[in-house]
Chain A
């Protein structure tokens, strides 16, 4: 067996844990790294909003109408600085944005994850079974995708009614088709590769082939779609709230904050809409940047 060493790869790799390698690969792209930390900060804010907010904007006992329409940086009568100003009801905008992020992010991520699970299961089923199952599923997907997402969401909301759970259901129903189509397309390509034939030649069970061989190889496009769709869900929810059919007023998301300020925008109170809008923008852009970099890093074939 002396020939082994001659054809072996010359230099052995440095000993490093997979997690370490993953992190150093991810950090290669500085913009993505910045976006990642921004996203971490946003998630931190969303989770700990009640703790870190300067005021509680939804505690009616503490909100004073005399503080309304204050410009960014002015102080309240209780000597609290409103760094981003106040809205027409006298609520601190910074605190409102923190609370709004909590709702927006929660709704977006939760609906994204549920749609991902449902959509990829359906897409894998279509690709693996083929035939009539495939035709039926993909025609439903085609029909769904031919309607604008906002229209479908509006119809669903008007049927289902208001509420956080209702809007999550609506967002899932709007989004699953994107996942299903992506997974099916990739799975159809991967299914015909020889490693799948090899797996069936080794008499591995169907479940194992689908979930251990087929699904992991469909991941790169799925991750990209997942991040884009999560960002899309957040903006769709904001749109619905802006239109007044999204979340109830008692659970204000970023979209609702923007809608509130829209009425007074032309009166010179730009900050009431502007800052929630900026928060939404930063959230969506950083999610997309992180998603792109994740796709590059998670693909072993792109690694040096």
Chain B
């Protein structure tokens, strides 16, 4: 494997809903109330190679956005380490931490909420480069025009406000804002989910062009397997805060190992399987407030045994470059 860009080691994030005064009183008086804690991300380890494109897939609520936000430095992890270019984010001095924060940028899902509605495009894109000394305040127009051209926006529009653009154009503004601080690693959190299908293709192509031109590394968070198949080298499948399978894209789509992956892949509509009956994954995703024991997937798994209810399966290498967390792999 080539040079490692980012390594995530046993990363965990809990969200705790603290009891208020009334709740604590009720608890003292014997009511059956306790602090509610959600393991949004539960001991995730992951390695992302330089210039790689990793697709992170899972149902909504499985913690993929939380993982992305921790990597982008927006949310602090509860425990675990994020190692960027060989140094843990927590061990960095101020200058290194700032550089790492700028080199890891995030593209957000909702292009309507992710742009400050009261700033003009030139300020949205140009604020951070000026603040961090990438360009002089007097050269902001030229700098922003260059970045806008790179993402396919007409620099003539730089004096406009975000609400004067369409969804696809806004997403391009969001991308331009991230590119303006010369990042090396982009976390795309459902970056195309809110766009029309025709625009999705344009934005995906833009991501791929940028990867060629700027040697970017991507963590591409999505629930859309067909998009992930199209762009990523490696796919990570998450279920209820845990990674269940990691594999190179082609191998994963050819021969999925984990029952959850198999169920997900069955849901992707394909031209060559037209007319096939559609078998959705049975049941709902369980509440992360009260996750199932053992393997989180066992209540919905067609192959579940008593062992799956009791014991949490560990991620184990099943083939070179492929890991999966399923007890079924032990038997055969």
Contact = CB atoms under 8 A, between A and B. Distances in A.
Contacts of A1: 149, 152
Interface residues of A, number: 30
Interface stretch (A2-10, A33-41, A120-128, A170-178): A2-10
Nearest to A214: B116
Contact of A8 (B69, B101, B154): B154
Given A7-B168, A8-B157, A203 B101 contact: yes
Contacts of A13: 160
Contact of A202 (B128, B161, B199): B128
B164 A202 contact: no
Nearest to B111: A194
B98 interface: yes
A200 interface: yes
B118 interface: yes
A204 B127 contact: yes
Given A201-B101, A203-B101, A4 B154 contact: yes
- Residue in B98, B118, B169, B199 whose Cβ sees the most chain A Cβ within 10 Å: B118
Contact of A197 (B74, B119, B131, B199): B74
Interface string B205-244: 0000000000000000000000000000000000000000
B325 interface: no
A73 interface: no
A200 to B, nearest CB: 6
A193 B163 CA distance: 16
B116 A217 contact: yes
A29 to B, nearest CB: 21
Interface in B133-182: 149, 152-154, 156-157, 160-161, 163-166, 168-169, 174, 177, 181
Nearest to A215: B118
A208 interface: yes
Interface in A213-270: 213, 216-217, 219
Contacts of A208: 131
Interface string A168-188: 000000000000000000000
A4 B164 CA distance: 16
Contacts of A60: none
A195 B115 contact: yes
A268 to B, nearest CB: 56
A1 to B, nearest CB: 6
B165 A201 contact: no
Contact of B128 (A3, A7, A203, A301): A203
Nearest to B74: A197
Contacts of B110: 194
Interface string B76-109: 0000000000000000000000100110011011
B241 to A, nearest CB: 21
Given A3-B152, A201-B72, A202-B177, A195 B114 contact: yes
Contacts of A303: 163
A5 B154 contact: yes
B73 A201 contact: yes
A50 B160 CA distance: 47
A12 interface: yes
Interface in B46-71: 69
A198 B102 contact: no
B118 A216 contact: yes
Main secondary structure of the interface of A (DSSP, over half): helix
Nearest to A12: B156
A300 interface: yes
A202 B104 CA distance: 9
A201 B72 CA distance: 7
Nearest to B189: A194
Interface string B113-132: 11111110000000110011
A113 B174 CA distance: 36
Nearest to B187: A201
A3 B118 contact: no
B329 interface: no
B27 interface: no
Given A9-B165, A194-B108, A208-B131, A300 B118 contact: yes
A208 to B, nearest CB: 7
B154 A202 contact: no
A194 B114 contact: yes
B202 interface: yes
A201 B116 contact: no
A303 B160 CA distance: 12
Interface string B288-311: 000000000000000000000000
B193 to A, nearest CB: 13
Contacts of A300: 117-118, 161, 163
A195 B116 contact: yes
Given A203-B132, A300-B118, A301-B117, A198 B106 contact: yes
A213 B164 CA distance: 19
Contacts of A203: 98, 101-102, 128, 132
Given A1-B149, A3-B202, A12-B156, 10 more contacts: A9-B166, A194-B108, A194-B109, A197-B114, A198-B108, A202-B102, A202-B128, A204-B131, A216-B118, A217-B118
22 contacts: A3-B152, A4-B152, A4-B154, A7-B168, A12-B156, A13-B160, A193-B113, A194-B113, A195-B117, A201-B72, A201-B74, A201-B105, A202-B102, A203-B128, A216-B116, A216-B119, A217-B118, A219-B118, A300-B117, A300-B161, A301-B117, A303-B163
Closest 4 CB pairs of A and B: A194-B114, A202-B128, A203-B101, A216-B118
